[in-house]
Structure 1
Amino acid sequence: MYILNQGEFLGHISRRFDTHQGLTLIETVYHTYVYQGSHFHQNTHLTLFLQGGTFEKRKHLSDDVRPGNLRFYYSGEIHQNLNTRFPSKNINLDISADFFSKQQLDEADIDRALVKNPHARAILLKMYKEALLPDRFSNDSILMLFHQLIDPTTSFQRKKKPAWVIQLNELLQDCWSEPTSLAELSRILKVNPITISKHFPRYFGCTLSEYIRRVKVSRALQRIRQPAVSLTALAYECGFADQSHFTRILKEQTGFLPKQLQKL
């Protein structure tokens, strides 16, 4: 069994930014054959695939990982990466055990957040942008962005959360591309629209329109590196008014322009 120590990855590490607070952003690239046997990482980490991809095998999951996919790995979780497509590029967030202790978190908090949080990819890209252009505030900014990543988990996991909150989240995830009004959501959920309007920011951390924009950006990030996809077509496909609108929202949420993301 091959064991990867803190901050180690199978590919070539082209960039590394350590916040010295337990979070390390690591860019890895793959141009040649890498080890295809079973391995695990000592540290918890999550990976955003930017380019190329691989076929990944885990104990209870096997799938073809492509650009735009975001994956979470528990500390010590055994997996294999087969038939890596060259060139490949990933952004990895390495999380130390000490960080979990200091922040009073566990791995399951992050695992749930990646499922619940529609803008997880955008947040990781913002962290990456901070690492590319570091200043004296970058360490703290990345920590703040990390808490934005897990905040929806805190909201959704409250013991006394209303049932309509979970139902609404599922509804918005499934119907993100369809025109939706507060009145229509109220009718479907059988909840007073005033109740939804009043409590939505508490449970989702933003307004309804902002949440929908985040979902659209998340969808776009999964498609933006695919060949023969024009930015204009992608903008309309993901529900933006036009390419200009798409560009503005993407820059606002990720720190990158669409063409910059295509070249990462």
Structure 2
Amino acid sequence: MKELQKGEYYGDHYQKVDLGGMILTDTAYTHSKVDWHYHQNPYFTYILEGQLFEANKKESYTLGAGSLLFHNWDDAHYNIKPPGYTRGFHIELNKEWFLKYDLGQDGLEGSINLKNPLVKRKMNSIFMETKISDDHSPMSIEMLLVEVFGLMEGQQQNQKPPNWVRKLQELIMEEGVDSSLGNLAAQLQIHPVHLSREFGRYFGTSFGNYVRLLKVNKAFNMMVSTKLSMTEICYECGFSDQSHFISNFKRVYQMTPSKMLGKISRR
């Protein structure tokens, strides 16, 4: 089985940023299939455009734009790319980086499918920093990545949440939630007070912010992966009008969608 060395990925790199303890790459996948292999260092794979099928010895994933995986050192896997264009963003970290920030890796074995919109917000901001690429970007990337691992640690601690948490995640992700607190609690078969008190514990933020982040992150991914107009993206992501879309996007990413689009273009 092949071991890929530091900064080595199958495909063509649009950009490679080496910050010593970490390497960040913006890559177009060019192989229809990559046989079993593993990487020398742990890393993130964030699919920006297209699709990718990945399987390890325990699980398999069909990944689309916005999918985010973390792979540890011992994670042997293979990939199949469907026909069409697929683009991914990788962040590879060496062992010294984890020691530098006193970050343990307990519970981070194999692959982890990261769905938390707070984590994806940080990942989008890291990707943006590689495109801004000014004197402040390296420190910003380091700080954002440390925050990512803090959120991941919290996710691992809550990896066996109550059934209502999983059901609510599915409701928000698949159907959206447009009802009163009482109706939502009834759907989940829990008391409204319990839902109100416990939501932040399992979701890491308020209900409104969680839903807004899902919408804004979806817009970010569509800006990278589609050629839809801003108006089409606005309504596809569930915003009532362009004004709400722009204000929410700017609140999260500190710039307008149009300015963002200019920074995250393919090359």
The Cα of 1:45 is off from its aligned counterpart by 1.1
What letter matches 1:178 in structure 2? Answer: V
The Cα of 1:150 is off from its aligned counterpart by 3.4
Aligned pair in 2 of structure 1 residues 227, 238: CA closer, same or farther (>3 Å)? closer
Indicate conservation of the 8 Å contact 1:67/1:226, yes or no.
Answer: yes
The Cα of 1:9 is off from its aligned counterpart by 0.9
Residue in 1 that maps onto 2:164: 167
Secondary structure of 2:86's aligned partner: strand
Residue in 2 that maps onto 1:95: 93
What letter matches 1:46 in structure 2? Answer: F
Residue in 2 that maps onto 1:151: 150
Indicate conservation of the 8 Å contact 2:32/2:83, yes or no.
Answer: no
Secondary structure of 2:178's aligned partner: coil
Aligned pair in 2 of structure 1 residues 41, 207: CA closer, same or farther (>3 Å)? same
Aligned pair in 2 of structure 1 residues 104, 62: CA closer, same or farther (>3 Å)? closer
Normalising by the residue count of structure 1, what TM-score does the alignment of the two structures yield?
0.75
Aligned pair in 2 of structure 1 residues 227, 144: CA closer, same or farther (>3 Å)? closer
Q: Deviations over 1:124-145 (max 9, x none)?
A: 1200111222344333322322
Secondary structure of 2:28's aligned partner: strand
Aligned pair in 2 of structure 1 residues 44, 173: CA closer, same or farther (>3 Å)? same
Find the aligned partners of 1:103 and 1:114 in 2 and give their Cα distance.
22
The Cα of 1:192 is off from its aligned counterpart by 5.3
Indicate conservation of the 8 Å contact 1:119/1:217, yes or no.
Answer: no
Residue in 1 that maps onto 2:8: 8
The Cα of 1:263 is off from its aligned counterpart by 3.7
Residue in 1 that maps onto 2:137: 138
Find the aligned partners of 2:63 and 2:160 in 1 and give their Cα distance.
35
Find the aligned partners of 2:220 and 2:45 in 1 and give their Cα distance.
14
Residue in 2 that maps onto 1:36: 34
Residue in 2 that maps onto 1:25: 24
Aligned pair in 2 of structure 1 residues 16, 238: CA closer, same or farther (>3 Å)? same
Aligned pair in 2 of structure 1 residues 100, 189: CA closer, same or farther (>3 Å)? farther
The Cα of 1:251 is off from its aligned counterpart by 4.2
Residue 73 of structure 2 is aligned to residue 68 of structure 1: no
Aligned pair in 2 of structure 1 residues 204, 93: CA closer, same or farther (>3 Å)? same
Find the aligned partners of 2:192 and 2:160 in 1 and give their Cα distance.
13
The Cα of 1:213 is off from its aligned counterpart by 0.8
Secondary structure of 1:48's aligned partner: strand
Name which of structure 1's ranges 101-110 and 7-16 shifts more when overlaid on structure 2: 101-110
The Cα of 1:171 is off from its aligned counterpart by 0.7
The Cα of 1:185 is off from its aligned counterpart by 4.4
Find the aligned partners of 1:18 and 1:53 in 2 and give their Cα distance.
26
Find the aligned partners of 1:172 and 1:67 in 2 and give their Cα distance.
19
Find the aligned partners of 2:180 and 2:76 in 1 and give their Cα distance.
45
Unmatched segments (≥5 aa) in structure 2: none
RMSD: 3.7
Question: 1:240-251, aligned counterparts within 5 Å?
Answer: 240-251=239-250
Residue in 2 that maps onto 1:80: 78
The Cα of 1:186 is off from its aligned counterpart by 4.8
Normalising by the residue count of structure 2, what TM-score does the alignment of the two structures yield?
0.75
Unmatched segments (≥5 aa) in structure 1: none
Aligned pair in 2 of structure 1 residues 217, 131: CA closer, same or farther (>3 Å)? same
Find the aligned partners of 1:12 and 1:163 in 2 and give their Cα distance.
40
Indicate conservation of the 8 Å contact 2:131/2:263, yes or no.
Answer: no
What letter matches 2:23 in structure 1? Answer: T
Find the aligned partners of 1:29 and 1:255 in 2 and give their Cα distance.
28
Name which of structure 1's ranges 145-154 and 182-191 shifts more when overlaid on structure 2: 182-191
What letter matches 1:128 in structure 2? Answer: F
Q: Deviations over 1:196-223 (max 9, x none)?
A: 5566555544332111111223444555
Find the aligned partners of 2:200 and 2:148 in 1 and give their Cα distance.
15
Identity, % of aligned positions = 26
Secondary structure of 2:66's aligned partner: coil
Secondary structure of 1:67's aligned partner: coil
